[in-house]
Chains A and B, each alone.
Chain A
Amino acid sequence: MRTETGLHAIGLSKWFGREPNAVRALDDVTLEIAPASFVIVLGASGSGKSCLLAAMSGLQRPDRGEVHFQGRDIWARGNQSAAAFRRDACGFVFQSPGLFPSLTAWQQIYVPLRQLGVDRQVARLRATEALDHVGLSAREGALPTQLSGGQNQRVAIARMLAKQPAILFCDEPTSALDTDNARLIGELFQHVVRQRGATIVCATHDERLIPFCDRVITLQAGSLIHDQLQDPA
């Protein structure tokens, strides 16, 4: 079954190296992600979480399989269509915030929007609003060195929220953070899904995020071994 609005991965496989020593990072993974849901991809280190995220988000082409979004295969025209998908529909939060050391919190959001061609006035409004959304309005003039790790990660999230993506892909977003900050970000994600109707796909081994999500998918050695819906707190 294929929904028009969701994200649908069909038979994704990815391997590195050659047989007989090839590593099967992904082994025929099929899954469907409903719109406006917060999905966590759980698994031990090396289980293929990041590879799944990369294939589904248009960052790295799978060796086999398709990824459908709004009825189209995002890899149909290789990197070109994948880049268009990322531009039109995706946001990314990585373990490291990847903020420009020279920009203030507000500029971290404003500058990428401008680079994406968003109108100056609109970009201003969206930057201010996104910073407010993550509770950092008071620190809009702060440089990354003047903020804590958790605050910087929230700036990185705000930068993506301002882009208003249909899907936010996160890879280990809280792994470098303490429990309080991890919880704050869990709540923030939950809020984003509820308020904005965005979808979040979050690869992590950090179980502290589980209470906030709608669904937990577990990978082991590149295979999907567990898929459980749950009621978030």
Chain B
Amino acid sequence: MHSLAQQQLSHMWLRAWFAIVTLTLAGVVVYLQVGLSNHYLDRLVRFEQQISAPIVVVSTSGTLLDLQPMTPEVEARVRASSVVEAFEVRSRSMVDLAAGPTGYPLAALAVDVTGPGLSAPRALSQASRQLLVTPGHVLLTDKDAEMTGFRLGDSFVVAGHRLQIVGRIKGGFGRNGSLVSQQTRDLLVPAIPRTEPLKPRIILVRGQKGQLLSETLGRLNQVLHLFGAQAMSREDYVRGLVQEGIEQNQDVRAYLYLATAVGLIALLIIAQSVQSMIAGQRSELATLVAIGVTRWRIGLIVLEQALWLGLIAAALAIPTALVGQMVLERFDVPIALHLAQILPISGIILVTAVLAGLVAIPSVLTLKPVQLLR
């Protein structure tokens, strides 16, 4: 047998569907908003969130999006630190290769695949890593293949060196996400004579094995703070970048406000529908109060009804958002929906429904069975 809440909902299907459709549409707006923001933020942190190094050292002045160079002392301290197992100073990381058959230029990211491999993407398989070790080898992303027209096996000459596309990579890397090794980069980019060594903007660090991340960070920061630098976890670094990205990008902010506004309006409408659904069952629920059913149990019936609205809406919002994404893509609106975000957004829809149920709770508390008397 279905629960009382379920049966009452199916009985009041018109009101229930109104609430469900509103909630579903609100959910879809949130999905698309997140998808739009993702598109921007993904580009922003695509490489940073993939690096193998668990720790990042940056300057304390400036922002993460606009890193200030650090003094050479910082590198010296990192080198001397007993808590550091390996580190890598990342300076220029992009290297221009050649224009492809379509005329679009191919640029690649130079990563360390031989040493500690701190700048190499974590997702890079051992086999791909091995492929890159040979100087001149290039791994091509699907997006770059599409843009440039290069294909597996193609080779071309850059600054007198022969380069060859030896593999394809997937997963998170899009445009300009193709990879070469640092050795290849060093071949192509002639050393520029300097009077002063290049000041690092970012140092990738791996702590000693068997040491807690928080401990390594703590020990490093004790020293680094004296030199205007700080160590943070890769996750905090990426989170910081995303945070700054949201703050600095007006579109992303606008989407965020829009989604919040839509969510609040949806909450009001749903709360209203749940209220009216409860109003329609007042005398039935009051009869239960009369015979001594506790009010919190009746509150649970109300919350269960709201929860079911939320569950159905959350389930409907996923395919609807995917259809919305397809439609928007036809109009060249870039949307990037991530599987990992489906659960939290479904959660938001559920929470909205439950909040609407909570709004209806006071009307349960004011149920007066004495009003059933004539």
Which of A59, A91, A102, A112 touches B288 (beta carbons < 8 Å)?
Answer: A112
Q: Which residues of chain B are within 8 angstroms of A92 by Cβ–Cβ distance?
A: 287, 290-291, 369, 372
* Those of A66-104 within 8 Å (CB) of chain B: 83-84, 86-88, 90-92, 94-96, 98-103
Q: Is the CB of A98 within 8 A of B374?
A: no
Q: Would you call A172 an interface residue if the criterion is a C-beta within 8 Å of the partner chain's C-beta atoms?
A: yes
CB closest chain-B residue, reference A171 = B373
B366 within 8 A of A: no
Per DSSP, are chain B's interface residues mostly helix, strand or loop, or mixed? helix
A177 to chain B, nearest CB (A): 14
The 8 A CB mask of B259-285 against A (1 = contact, 0 = none) is 000000000000000000000010110
Which residue of chain A has the shortest Cβ distance to B282 in the bound complex?
A98
Which residues on B sit within 8 Å (CB–CB) of A95? 374
* A101 vs B291: C-alpha distance when bound (angstroms): 19
B292 touches A83 (CB 8 A): yes
Question: Chain A interface secondary structure, helix, strand, loop or mixed?
Answer: mixed
| Interface membership of A175, Cβ < 8 A | yes
CB distance from B308 to the nearest CB of A (A): 13
Docked CA distance A87–B12 (Å): 29
Q: Which residues of chain A from 19 to 78 have any CB-CB distance to chain B below 8 Å in the complex?
A: 50, 53-54, 59-60
In the bound assembly, the distance between CA atoms of A163 and B1 in angstroms comes to: 20
Chain A contacts for B239, CB-based, 8 A: none
Classify chain A: how many residues form its interface, as a range. Answer: 20 to 34
* Closest-CB distance, B299 to chain A (whole angstroms): 12
Residues from chain A with Cβ under 8 Å of B11 in the complex: 100-102
Task: Please tell me if the beta carbons of B292 and A103 are within 8 angstroms of each other in the complex.
Answer: no
List chain B residues, Cβ under 8 A from A101: 11, 284
Distance of B353 from chain A, by nearest CB (Å): 20
A35 to B158, CA, bound (A): 105
Return chain B residues, CB-CB under 8 Å to A100: 4, 7-8, 11, 281, 284
Distance, CA A101 to CA B1, complexed state (A)? 16
In the assembled complex, 12 residue pairs joining A and B whose CB atoms fall closer than 8 Å, in A order, are A60-B370, A83-B292, A86-B290, A87-B292, A92-B287, A98-B287, A100-B281, A102-B7, A102-B10, A112-B293, A116-B292, A171-B373
